[in-house]
Amino acid sequence: MRVAAIDCGTNSLRLLVADVDPDTGILRDVTREMVVVRLGEGVDRTGLFAPAALERTFAAVDAYAQTCARLGAEAIRFVATSASRDAANSDLLVAGVERRLGVVPEVISGDEEARLSFRGATGALAGGLEAPFLVVDLGGGSTELVLGTREPEYVHSMNVGCIRLAERHLSADLAGAKEIELAVRDVREALDAAAKDVPLARTGTLVGVSGTVTTVTAHVLGLDAYRPERIDGSILQIDDVVAAADDLLGMTRAATAALPFMHPGRVDSIGAGALVWREVVLRVRREVEAAGRPLETVVTSEHDILDGIALALVPA
């Protein structure tokens, strides 16, 4: 069955067209595409989608509609996440997408977002990794944490993400100590709340997904270009992830843009995203070590909510 999954986030609009074996649940990619549309630009401040942001998003949807038709997708699911949950005029997005794509977009909860990310990420993990898995999906407006083995058992959505944090605290070309302190406080408060819902100390394997996480991974690996085949499944030392995150946070935008693996649409938000990821991995390691076990590595996955959306389109 050929399906199309579209993930409409705060920063990017992504498409996966894949063939799914209904018996095994195995996905075979036909195409993966991503456009930075910055739909959530200003939403944290205004509570509304800006007209220009909607125009950028609709232009990308038009292109995706053509791709889905050309590739013969039998079913399409369009999922909108954090910014669409927050925007009071999200009805404009829903109506515009339905006109262009012929399907009604779903504005899903943070919990549903986390469950779809967990399904997509864990379905593609290599064998031999210790369960339970803590999957962290670090988006533009929110960050989802979900812990489980075969199915999600504990879920929490934090209202912090790379775009939201960048707009609140880190909009300058080079953030100062005070701005970083305020951003760290936001993330740590969100993690305190998350830890009440998700027993972080039980984590067997920490798995990170999203463009922020894969970009930090590319920096750890010193890649000469963005190479998904090198990034996917990488097992990194947490100390190396923290060092790479600190490095990205301390770069000017010109220096960030010059990195060979950096997508232009992430230049002004990767520092904020790296800060969130650093705080998450350090907090999880501390919780696991307090429980008497070591946690030295983190796994990066290129498979995420898109894969989960696609798998959910196949009848059980």
Per-residue pLDDT tens digits for 292-306 = 999 999 999 999 999
Phi and psi dihedrals of 125, rounded to 5? -70, 145
- The per-residue b/e assignment along 108-122, b for 16 or more CB within 10 angstroms, e otherwise, is bebebbbbbbbbbbb
Cis peptide before 132 (omega within 30 of 0): yes
In the chain, residues under CATH classification 3.30.420.40 are 2-110
Question: Model-level pTM?
Answer: 0.92
Provide CB contacts within 8 A for 14, sequence distance 6+.
Answer: 6, 7, 32, 33, 34, 35, 306
CATH dotted code for 2-110? 3.30.420.40
E strand or H helix that includes residue 106: strand 106-107
Query: How far apart are alpha carbons 139 and 162 in whole angstroms?
Result: 6
| H and E: helices and strands count for the chain | 13, 11
Q: What's the pLDDT at 295?
A: 98
DSSP alpha helices (H): ranges in the chain? 43-46, 51-71, 82-86, 90-101, 110-122, 162-169, 177-197, 211-221, 228-231, 238-249, 253-257, 270-290, 305-312
Query: Which long-range contacts link 22-30 to residues 24+ away (Cβ below 8 Å)?
Result: 22/314, 22/315, 25/123, 25/311, 25/314, 27/123, 27/124, 27/307, 27/310, 27/311, 30/2, 30/71
Residue given tokens 């009071």 in the structure block:
88
User: Taking Cα atoms as reference points, which of 300, 245, 299 lies closest to residue 272?
Assistant: 245
Contact 315, 23 (CB under 8 A): no
Side chain identity at 232, as an amino acid letter? D
Q: What's the pLDDT at 232?
A: 96
Provide CB contacts within 8 A for 217, sequence distance 6+.
Answer: 208, 231, 234, 236, 241, 300
Side chain identity at 89, as an amino acid letter? N
pLDDT < 70 stretches in the chain: 316
Contact 110, 86 (CB under 8 A): no
Question: Is the CATH number of domain 127-300 3.30.420.150?
Answer: yes
